[in-house]
Amino acid sequence: MDEAVAPGMAMMPPQGTATAIDTGLRVSFGVYWFKLLHPLLERRGRFFLQGRQRRRYFVMPGDYVSGYTAKFGSFEAEEIAVARQVCLRGLGAERLARSTMVDLGCHIGNYSVELGAAFGGVVAVDAVQSYAHVARANLAWNGLEHKSTVVCAAISDREGEVRLHMERHGNLGHARVSQEGDAAGGATAVVPAETLDALVRRLGILDVSFIKFDIEGHEIAALQGALQTIRQHAPVVQVEVDKGNLPAVLDRMRQTGVAYEAWQVVRGSPARKSALSRLWTALRAGGNPVFVQKLTGEEANARQLPCVLLVPVAMQVDWRALFPVPAPTLEPTPAPAVARACDPGAGPHPLHEVTAVVVTYNSAHCIETLARSLAAWPHAIVVDNGSHDGTRAQVERFMPRARWIGLGGNQGFGAANNLALAQVTTPYALLINPDCLVETGDAVALLQAAQRWPQTAVVVPQLIDSQGRVQCNYGWPRLQWASQGAPAEGPLCVGNACGAVMLLRLEALPTRQWFDTRFFLYYEDEDLCLRLFQAGQGVVVEPSVRVFHANRGSVRGPRPLKVEYQRGRHHAMSKILFTAKHLGEAAARRQRRVARLQAVAVLLLRMLLPSPKHMARAWGRVVGFWQAPSRY
């Protein structure tokens, strides 16, 4: 590091001493190509790409929907990761725990949520009422409501009122303080204005350790109204700097008398100047590398994110020791604590509030393994859909304490679950497919997640296959847009989740009729999640809990091709029924016409590369699309 600069001296090192450090972060190829292409697209195209292909999660149920989120590492994740490391390593966890972070221009509250847990308090400010409302919901949903304050105001260099000018930016709008002559260009919203210095005094904040400025177009004016706060607290400051405004921003910072270093987050190595060399570097690195680069104040911000991180020189941050940044993880429920809770005399069983519900159909081959994972459960119900492979004998042998409900015939997955849920006496029920293995510690972690967010109706784990690969068992509601994006890194509210393992809070639907029995097999879980989504009840994925799921492994029989045929048939019929229910008869008819042609084409291709199992399933889909009703 350079020698510390005394307050009041020039805060930038001499020109030519700039350096860049590889953080170890990599922008995924999908995001990398999107960032390469999106400047060439029209605004409508950018909205399409961001809205339909890049959303996977949302933060709150109902209408509180985030525009884009740092959860899958596309827009702000690199900036947040760098800021997190600087704050934790430079300021220390003790100061963070007794200090406040201020998120100015919070929009949907990504910074507040991602960094807020480490701070004693969070203040989120936005001039747009709807954004402030979403940020408040975001903070509450992530358990930060008790220590957060959300303010609707424009942070500027003056008190009173200002006009806002709304600008389109991707699939979010940005508001900036209007300049003279903007009134004719849509600057019609009048909002209260407040300086940061006045806001800190009004809220009685004793220590500000991190400030994030994201206030499009008027950062310089906002900084002018924050000089006293910066001078008094010497926080880490992150500024979203418009191109060409960096020298003016740094000049304002000099007026505080506190010596700062300026670092910028850069996608791609700054040493690579040509487009081909940058592409080659990204290919070799397994993704576009993310660097932090020291600024001298003369840069033109070419190829750089607008984020500039201003760090007090007195912190003496060793930047090379900060990186590579470790991936954030969640601590799972400690196994020893679960084991102690299961000991005799250690108090109530940790799962005394949960009943395991298993629906079987010719699942005898799964029962012995399933029974070992459920051996310690105090409550379990097995509903059998008329199996003829000895499933009941296996249950009586390996799960003697489970309550048995035998049905005369196959009534379907949803109907069988509804019958079992009507007899559950505990507050929660955990639906488990016979081909899933849920250990006691996993179930306890899901229960703790449900108790942590009492507004949720459903909590699901991350499913993995026999090779340990992550299965895509959650995403956005199908009626909204296609669910894509990287796997979740932390608990998230989603719009659709697989019912293979699903913890239900039974008071959310007192009638206990969770599933629509018209869906015999497939889509009943998606229909449930969509109805909960529309009712404003949360479905949460807890990715720290990983559960093995043998896909299509719960049913066997002496005629495996018939099983595959029935799977294809029911999947096709349920697909059309789902569309008819939620989009109407006309949409179902259109979908059925296209699906019939596609199913026939797939069947013909299967004949060229014969596989009895796949041909049976393809034939089942052809029959299912012909038999599917277009009216719900």
Strand pairing partners for 387?
Answer: none
Q: What is the pLDDT of residue 555?
A: 60
For residues 191 and 177, what is the distance between their CA atoms, to the nearest angstrom?
A: 10
Write down the pTM of the prediction.
0.52
Q: What is the pLDDT of residue 545?
A: 92
Q: Are residues 188 and 308 located together in one domain of the fold?
A: yes
Domain-ending residue, one of 527, 549, 571: 549
Least confident of 57-66, 334-343, 547-556, 599-608: 57-66
Q: Are residues 531 and 468 located together in one domain of the fold?
A: yes
Enclosing domain of residue 455: 337-549
| Mean pLDDT value of segment 279-286 | 70
Strand order of the β-sheet with 307-312 is 20-27, 288-294, 260-267, 307-312, 236-240, 208-213, 100-104, 121-126, 148-152
CB atoms within 10 A of CB 586: 11
Q: Which residues contact 312 (CB under 8 A, 6 or more apart)?
A: 234, 235, 236, 258, 259, 260, 261
Q: Are residues 136 and 241 located together in one domain of the fold?
A: yes
251-278 core/surface letters (b: 16 or more CB in 10 A; e: else): ebbbebebbbbbbbbbbbbbebeeeeeb
318-357 core/surface letters (b: 16 or more CB in 10 A; e: else): ebeebbeeeeeeeebbeeeebeeeeeeeeeebbbeebbbb
Compute the mean pLDDT over every residue in the chain, rounded to the nearest whole number: 77
Q: Are residues 301 and 371 located together in one domain of the fold?
A: no
For residues 234 and 226, what is the distance between their CA atoms, to the nearest angstrom?
A: 11
Which tops the pLDDT comparison, 328 or 277? 277
Least confident of 23-32, 425-434, 480-489: 480-489
Q: What is the pLDDT of residue 171?
A: 44
For 132-153, what is each residue's pLDDT tens digit?
A: 887 887 787 777 888 999 998 8
pLDDT band at 447 (very low <50, low <70, confident <90, very high): very high
Which residue in 31, 169, 177, 161 sits closest to 107, CA to CA? 169
Residue 347: pLDDT over 70: no
Question: Does residue 555 fall inside a structural domain?
Answer: no
Which SS3 state, helix, strand or coil, does residue 479 take?
coil
Q: Are residues 383 and 237 located together in one domain of the fold?
A: no
Q: Are residues 213 and 148 located together in one domain of the fold?
A: yes
Q: What is the pLDDT of residue 286?
A: 63
For residues 222 and 176, what is the distance between their CA atoms, to the nearest angstrom?
A: 11
Residue 12: pLDDT over 60: no
Residue 256: pLDDT over 80: yes
What's the number of CA atoms in the CB half-sphere (13 Å) around residue 208?
28
Strand pairing partners for 384?
Answer: 360, 406
Question: Does residue 328 fall inside a structural domain?
Answer: no
Question: Does residue 15 fall inside a structural domain?
Answer: no
Written as one letter, the residue type at 55 is R
Q: Is 462 exposed, middle or buried (0-12, 13-18, 19+ CB in 10 A)?
A: buried
Q: Are residues 280 and 400 located together in one domain of the fold?
A: no
Question: Does residue 116 fall inside a structural domain?
Answer: yes
Q: What is the pLDDT of residue 459?
A: 94
Q: Which residues contact 476 (CB under 8 A, 6 or more apart)?
A: 55, 56, 57, 58, 482, 483, 494, 495, 496
Q: What is the pLDDT of residue 189?
A: 72
Helix, strand and coil in the chain, % to nearest 5: 40, 20, 40
Which SS3 state, helix, strand or coil, does residue 481 take?
coil
Which tops the pLDDT comparison, 632 or 242? 632
Q: What is the pLDDT of residue 461?
A: 94
Question: Does residue 332 fall inside a structural domain?
Answer: no
DSSP state of 288: E
HEC readout, 482-543: CCCCCCCCCCEEECEECCCEEEEEHHHCCCCCCCCCCCCCCCHHHHHHHHHHHCCCEEEEEE
Q: Are residues 544 and 587 located together in one domain of the fold?
A: no
For residues 538 and 530, what is the distance between their CA atoms, to the nearest angstrom?
A: 10
pLDDT band at 29 (very low <50, low <70, confident <90, very high): low
Which residue in 96, 102, 139 sits closest to 118, CA to CA? 96
Q: Are residues 247 and 391 located together in one domain of the fold?
A: no
Which residue in 424, 423, 392, 396 sits closest to 407, CA to CA? 392
Which residue in 551, 366, 544 sits closest to 467, CA to CA? 551
Which residue in 303, 299, 307 sits closest to 274, CA to CA? 303
Question: Does residue 580 fall inside a structural domain?
Answer: yes
The first and second tokens of residue 268, run together, are 């791609």
Helix and strand numbers (H, E) in the chain are 21, 24
Q: Return the CATH number at 352.
A: 3.90.550.10
For residues 406 and 383, what is the distance between their CA atoms, to the nearest angstrom?
A: 6
Q: Return the CATH number at 169.
A: 3.40.50.150
Is residue 436 within 8 Å of 549, Cβ to Cβ? yes
- Angle formed at CA 454 by CA 448 and CA 455, multiple of 5 degrees: 135
| Mean pLDDT value of segment 569-598 | 91
Domain-ending residue, one of 519, 549, 579: 549
Please give the tally of structural domains in the chain: 3
DSSP state of 435: T
HEC readout, 205-225: CCCEEEEEECCCCCHHHHHHC
Q: What is the pLDDT of residue 17?
A: 39
Written as one letter, the residue type at 241 is V
Question: Does residue 169 fall inside a structural domain?
Answer: yes
In DSSP notation, 328-393 reads: P-PPPPPHHHHHHHHSTTSSS-TTTTEEEEEEESS-HHHHHHHHHHTTT-S-EEEEE-S--SSHHH
Question: Does residue 374 fall inside a structural domain?
Answer: yes
The owner of tokens 């038999």 is: 627
| Mean pLDDT value of segment 200-227 | 87
Give Cα separations from 247 to 186, 250, 251, 312, 448 (angstroms): 29, 5, 6, 17, 50
Q: Are residues 106 and 178 located together in one domain of the fold?
A: yes
Written as one letter, the residue type at 139 is L
Q: Are residues 499 and 442 located together in one domain of the fold?
A: yes
CB atoms within 10 A of CB 293: 18
Q: Are residues 289 and 350 located together in one domain of the fold?
A: no
H or E stretch including 275? helix 275-285
The alpha carbons of the chain give a radius of gyration, in whole angstroms, of 28
For residues 567 and 616, what is the distance between their CA atoms, to the nearest angstrom?
A: 9
Which residue in 89, 70, 58 sits closest to 31, CA to CA? 70
Q: What is the pLDDT of residue 510?
A: 80
DSSP state of 177: E
Domain-ending residue, one of 549, 576, 611: 549
